[in-house]
Amino acid sequence: VIEMGQPEHSVITTCAYCGVGCGFKAEMKGSEVVRMVPWKDGKANHGHSCVKGRFAWGYATHQDRVISPMIREKITDPWREVSWDEAIEYSAKRLKEVQEKYGRKSIGGITSSRCTNEEVYVVQKLIRAAFGNNNVDTCARVCHSPTGYGLKETLGTSAGTQAFDSVLEADVIMIIGSNPSDAHPVFASQMKRRLRQGAKLIIIDPRAIELVQTPHIRADYHLPLKPGTNVAMVNALAHVIVSEGLEQKDYINERCDLEAYEAWREFVLREENSPENVAEITGVPAEDIRAAARLYASAHDGKEGRAAIYYGLGVTEHSQGSTMVMGMANLAMATGNIGFEGAGVNPMRGQNNVQGSCDMGSFPHEFPGYRHVSDDATRSLFEQDWGVKLDNEPGLRIPGMFDAAVDGSYKAMYIQGEDVAQSDPNTHHVEAALGNLDCLIVQDLFLNETARFAHIFLPGTSFLEKDGTFINAERRTSRVRKAMSPKNGPDGQGMDEWEITCRIARAMGYDMQYNEASEIMDEIARLTPSFAGISFDKLDQKGSIQWPCNDEAPEGTVTMHVGGFVRGKGNFVVTEFVPTKEKVTRRFPLLLTTGRILSQYNVGAQTRRTENNVWHEEDVLEIHPHDAEERNIADGDLVSLESRMGETSLRAHISERMQPGVVYTTFHMPETGANVVTTELSDWATNCPEYKVTAVQVRHTNKR
């Protein structure tokens, strides 16, 4: 622990890193944070934390923080520090000039899953009401958009089904494409507690993650499938369950659409979905697939299921990400594993507010609360409240924005807290798009990679300077409270981020005003049925609330789909396996997949600027001993990593965790730029990039 003096007072707030959403007490001396103490009453963490949250104040006062707004005519000009007034006027002027020249739909923006709900809400409102179009998307596009699509199609709600505490009731835990020990450490501890009590564990992952074997825990089955074959695997599990009569027929008859079920049943029984056939596709022995399916289906007492699925980006970031989400929901419905404690289908959200940014209407086709922009009644509701005519056509998704920017029809962007030049796939294409814009506004803490292409930089605030709310992976809305005043302004004239957005709207001619963040939440509650019962006052009383919270559920909702599905009858969807177009070739014979490490967060903008960051200072390439030997690579050697999209270099780490033919790296460091090599392929339904499958070659090299 880094001690900086005795605290004088404390502020209860929420960690701004991962989707666990741990509660913390920021202990203060004057206006400085001296310690972050996990909050014992935090319902997501019960007094625990991981190393990231424990030291989370470090970057907030880092010398790299940009304090003053800055503008420049061209991206080759030097930055000029200006007042907030000048920055806001200049932003509005350039946005309006672009619209006058290229049309109403030539501008748009991206919201951030790291910002509060209130900050996200006003950005999507700025775009819909002041820009006059629906060109708004969120960084969740590149992580969990298939979750939103897949769970809504099958169950009726774009969110996970359980509270974290539910895992303590699970008898079988199935983890698919997720590494909780590194990515969601506090929840991983809870999961480990249940596993030590005897719950069974199935892991479906190309790599032997920590939970495959760790002290006192050993997975009952690890199915190390080839990257890109998830859907074949889930169909084979379903094949075993149906062909062996392991479904919960009463549950299906009572709660599910029987026509859809029959079509799905007929599909999964096809020979192509048999374990023997799928073993050829996935590389996993048929007997292991059978045994895992039987174990998953066994956790049911005839009334209630106790098998829980937890999944991560190893599911969603594929060309069939949405299909796989629906495949898991099919499996859970068939075995009666939704609507009870200890069961469910649970997305492990990567960022602190992925759930919230999606809930707040950040998608180009949906208003807050997942209601389509073409729905007349919904649009009329927002038009009356916002006092403006709204567009009824969906706007551009992030990949569409980049394509249109390269084509020259999309000319200005407002990017809130997101480093797309580092985090989005196919970096060269993203850079070409950003470089072609007439006006790029970046709002962030640091001059990130994306800011290299910006004309206007608006300094943001850290979570310690914000008032608002985050929503974690279990739909839990928690308060974020100001521990210090905003540091983003010349001469101590900091500004709340929602106020920056409101002022741009006003400078563009649309009157958007709030006195406090709580008023924004009041508006969200007024216009969004699942938030109708949420307010800052209620959150202050209760600590946190899981949505939906309204007249039917005034205390919030711990478990979804109890007694029936939100959409009515549960919808089985036929999930044909379609192999990705990304294939290994003689030139690129290995498959690259990616993930996270415990001590770093995403592109590292915050963790790299935090004092505890002494463990991992570079991304490494994990490679199986056979593949390393074939290439004359020793542990620690510098290697080049090349795909058809680009090339980078990094250090090799030889690891038995890998299977032969598959390599793995993290994406935390800008120097490595792992996304230089990732492809342009994406999920068929949502355009979520296929980060998890890239055909590559690895060679020994001596230089960066």
Q: Which chain residues interact with ligand SF4 by CB under 6 A? A: 15, 17-18, 20-22, 45, 49-50, 52-53, 184-186
Q: How far is the CB of 478 from ligand SF4 (least distance, A)?
A: 10
Tell me whether residue 607 or residue 649 sits nearer to ligand SF4 (CB atom): 607
Comparing every residue's Cβ against ligand SF4, the nearest one is 53
Token pair recorded at residue 251: 């549950």
Q: How far is the CB of 190 from ligand SF4 (least distance, A)?
A: 10
Residue with tokens 């001690």: 3
Residue type at position 311:
Y
Tell me whether residue 58 or residue 395 sits nearer to ligand SF4 (CB atom): 58
Q: Bridge-partner residues for 214, per DSSP?
A: 217
Tell me whether residue 50 or residue 502 sits nearer to ligand SF4 (CB atom): 50
Q: How far is the CB of 349 from ligand SF4 (least distance, A)?
A: 10
Q: How far is the CB of 17 from ligand SF4 (least distance, A)?
A: 3
Q: What are phi and psi of 469, to 5 degrees?
A: -140, 150
Q: How far is the CB of 23 from ligand SF4 (least distance, A)?
A: 9
Would you give the DSSP letter of residue 78? P
Token pair recorded at residue 9: 């007072």
Cβ burial of 88 (10 Å; 0-12, 13-18, 19+) is buried
Non-local CB neighbours of 299 within 8 Å, separated by 6+ positions: 170, 171, 172, 200, 305, 306, 307, 335, 337, 343
**Nearest 10 degrees: Cα torsion 577, 396, 425, 152:** -40
CA pair distance 110, 645, nearest whole angstrom: 25
CA pair distance 671, 422, nearest whole angstrom: 10
Non-local CB neighbours of 621 within 8 Å, separated by 6+ positions: 639, 641, 650, 651, 652, 653, 663, 664, 665, 698
Which pairing describes strands 366-367 and 371-372: parallel, antiparallel, or unpaired? Answer: antiparallel
Token pair recorded at residue 131: 């820009």
Q: How far is the CB of 13 from ligand SF4 (least distance, A)?
A: 11
* Cβ proximity of 186 and 44 under 8 Å: yes
Q: How far is the CB of 77 from ligand SF4 (least distance, A)?
A: 38
Tell me whether residue 38 or residue 314 sits nearer to ligand SF4 (CB atom): 38
Residue type at position 232:
A
CA pair distance 534, 655, nearest whole angstrom: 48
Q: How far is the CB of 57 from ligand SF4 (least distance, A)?
A: 12
Tell me whether residue 145 or residue 599 sits nearer to ligand SF4 (CB atom): 599
Tell me whether residue 350 or residue 533 sits nearer to ligand SF4 (CB atom): 350
Token pair recorded at residue 631: 């290439």
Q: How far is the CB of 624 from ligand SF4 (least distance, A)?
A: 30
CA pair distance 141, 423, nearest whole angstrom: 12
Q: How far is the CB of 164 from ligand SF4 (least distance, A)?
A: 10
Q: How far is the CB of 20 from ligand SF4 (least distance, A)?
A: 4
Q: How far is the CB of 471 from ligand SF4 (least distance, A)?
A: 12
Residue with tokens 């799928």: 278
Give 610's Cβ-side CA count (13 Å radius): 24
Tell me whether residue 473 or residue 641 sits nearer to ligand SF4 (CB atom): 473
Q: How far is the CB of 599 from ligand SF4 (least distance, A)?
A: 10
Would you give the DSSP letter of residue 565? B
Helices (H), 269-372: 275-282, 286-298, 313-316, 321-334, 354-359
Q: How far is the CB of 601 from ligand SF4 (least distance, A)?
A: 7
CA pair distance 415, 441, nearest whole angstrom: 6
| Torsion over CA: 545, 549, 555, 560 (sign) | negative
Q: Is the peptide bond before 548 cis (omega within 30 degrees of 0)?
A: yes
Tell me whether residue 616 or residue 644 sits nearer to ligand SF4 (CB atom): 616
* Cβ proximity of 435 and 151 under 8 Å: no
Tell me whether residue 15 or residue 107 sits nearer to ligand SF4 (CB atom): 15
Degrees (nearest 5) of the Cα angle 627, 279, 283?
Answer: 10
Tell me whether residue 378 or residue 472 sits nearer to ligand SF4 (CB atom): 472
Tell me whether residue 49 or residue 330 sits nearer to ligand SF4 (CB atom): 49
Q: How far is the CB of 140 from ligand SF4 (least distance, A)?
A: 17
Question: Left (φ > 0), alpha (ψ -120 to 50) or beta: where does 174 sit?
Answer: beta
DSSP helix/strand/coil, 333: helix
Tell me whether residue 366 or residue 474 sits nearer to ligand SF4 (CB atom): 474
Non-local CB neighbours of 407 within 8 Å, separated by 6+ positions: none
Cβ burial of 646 (10 Å; 0-12, 13-18, 19+) is middle
Tell me whether residue 53 or residue 570 sits nearer to ligand SF4 (CB atom): 53
Cα–Cα distance list, 371 to 209, 214, 382, 416 (Å): 38, 44, 11, 23
Residue type at position 689:
P
Tell me whether residue 185 or residue 206 sits nearer to ligand SF4 (CB atom): 185
Tell me whether residue 18 or residue 495 sits nearer to ligand SF4 (CB atom): 18
CA proximity to 496, closest of 455, 458, 524:
458
Tell me whether residue 94 or residue 475 sits nearer to ligand SF4 (CB atom): 475
Q: How far is the CB of 22 from ligand SF4 (least distance, A)?
A: 3
